[in-house]
Amino acid sequence: VEGTERVFKDLEKHPAVAAIRPNLTVRLPQPIPSRRVTIQQNFTWGLQKIRVPEAWQTFQVQGEGVTVGVIDSGIDPDHPDLRGKIRQQNGWFDPVNGRTTPYDDQGHGTHVAGTIAGGNASGVHIGVAPKATLIVAKALDASGVGTFEWLTASLQWMLDPDGDPNTDDGADVVNNSWGTFVSNSPTMIPEWRDIINAWIAAKIFPAFAIGNSGPNSRTTASPGDYPMAFAVGATDIN
């Protein structure tokens, strides 16, 4: 809804209106500066850092049977490390531009999808769980900005992509590499808190970026700093 202050004051009095929220915007986290990393043993430095090769060997699992949701700027379905990773039925949602086939006009979504489930087309493993299936919601535009409206729609979609509560087609894990990375941002948006709690009730693991600007205090981001979210920051090669 767009309108004057008087319009919103009148709307607030309507019995069908629970609350009115501004359509705030969020941005991608700023990457930490890095220098070129030397790849060892056909795995990226990041996968080695979190002991992915050891996990694959010890537990004999690479994401088989797991559906991972990605809320970001989209995905390049033709990237050689991501071909065939997106679920064919109800695997794509685009509240930004309403397009029916996957794309990524910013690049960040393809990057995080690769970290999650990318293969080794270049000869180097880039993904933590290359046998996982992806479902993708494009909630960030070409400049890396997402609105409350787009993000809320995407968060809800991850619970039930086909709109039928009798089918089990929601994500098992959802990756959210975005947030309110500004000091004056609201620290708790009730609607997002409620959705994340609904995810947990539906056995969806909520992974959120918390920012890459630590280790000082007050450098975290919402919703990554919600107590029910699992927050991830970054470390550099040092």
Per-residue pLDDT of the chain (238 residues; tens, 9 = 90+): 899 999 999 999 999 999 888 888 887 877 666 555 555 569 998 899 999 999 999 999 999 999 999 999 999 999 999 999 999 999 999 999 999 999 999 999 999 999 999 999 999 999 999 999 999 999 999 999 999 999 999 999 999 999 999 999 999 999 999 988 655 455 578 889 999 999 999 999 999 998 887 788 888 888 998 999 999 887 776 5
CA 158, CA 90: separation in Å to the nearest integer? 10
205: left (phi over 0), alpha (psi -120 to 50) or beta: beta
| pLDDT of the residue at 92 | 98
| pLDDT of the residue at 187 | 59
| pLDDT of the residue at 160 | 96
> 205 forms bridges with which residues in the sheet?
173
Q: Is the dihedral of CA 189, 192, 193, 194 positive or negative?
A: positive
The 3-state secondary structure of the chain reads CCCCHHHHHHHHCCCCCCCCCCCCEEECCCCCCCCCCCCECCECHHHHHCCHHHHHHHHCCCCCCCEEEEEECECCCCCCCCCCCECCCCCEECCCCCCCCCCECCCHHHHHHHHHHCCCCCCCECCCCCCCEEEEEECCCCCCEEEHHHHHHHHHHCCCCCCCCCCCCCCCEEEECCEECCCCCCCCCHHHHHHHHHHHHCCCEEEEECCCCCCCCCCCCECCCCCCCEEECCCCCC
Q: Pull the structure tokens for residue 46.
A: 């990041």
Q: What is the value of pTM for the model shown?
A: 0.89
| pLDDT of the residue at 64 | 96
| pLDDT of the residue at 40 | 56
| pLDDT of the residue at 213 | 79
CB 134 within 8 A of CB 87: yes
Residue 1, number of CB atoms within 10 A of its CB:
7
CB 20 within 8 A of CB 9: no
